[in-house]
Amino acid sequence: DLAPLLDSDPKIKVAVYNELGQLGFIRFNFLYPPFNNPQVRRAVLLGINQKEFLDGLVGNPKYYSICLSVYSCGSPYETNVDVPTFNLNEAKKVLKASGYDGAPIVQFHATNSATIGPLSEVLTRALRNIGFNGVQTVSNLRRDAMIGALKRFAAEAEGADWAVIYYAGHGI
């Protein structure tokens, strides 16, 4: 977030030190509902706008580039063959057709990481935009507060076919 300010000073040179950049992935536990359903995962894939994540993490498009490859763009393995592009309307249709029953999802938002923190906020918004209901984000919880959040989540999910907990952070 300070790069534009630094870049405006002629005495300071701002440079890209890693031409291949970084890879980031959204991984869901595909062993359990709703993400054990390939159509639910496809809805997420279609509803994720990479630019929103890059804006949340980097901010200024001058310092990032969109890369639709599973492998690093600029590497010999770069490919975007069969990679769907962001289409929120299609994502909503696919989620509806998947049979998702509206069960709540809770995400433990890590605020102690300069990279994970902003990205989990963007993911929460994206999941809500796609049509996942009851997406709850909790952060900076002590043990007793986390257990309380899990109990409230369990009560809200009572009787639901599916319930999801997404943890963005280090260790649990």
Task: Give the whole-angstrom CA distance, residue 154 versus residue 47.
Answer: 27
* SS3 at position 144: helix
Supply the pLDDT for residue 96.
Answer: 96
pLDDT at 145: 76
Is pLDDT above 70 for 46?
Answer: yes
Task: Share the mean pLDDT of the chain.
Answer: 81
At 153, the pLDDT band (50, 70, 90 cuts) reads confident
User: pTM of the predicted model, to two decimals?
Assistant: 0.73
Residue 172 has pLDDT above 50, yes or no: no
Look at residue 47 and tell me whether its pLDDT is greater than 80: yes
Specify the higher pLDDT residue, 108 or 35.
35
Longest dimension (CA), the chain: 63
Q: Beta-strand (E) ranges in 3-111?
A: 105-109
In tens, the pLDDT along 75-106 reads 899 998 888 899 999 999 999 999 998 877 77
pLDDT (mean) for 145-151: 77
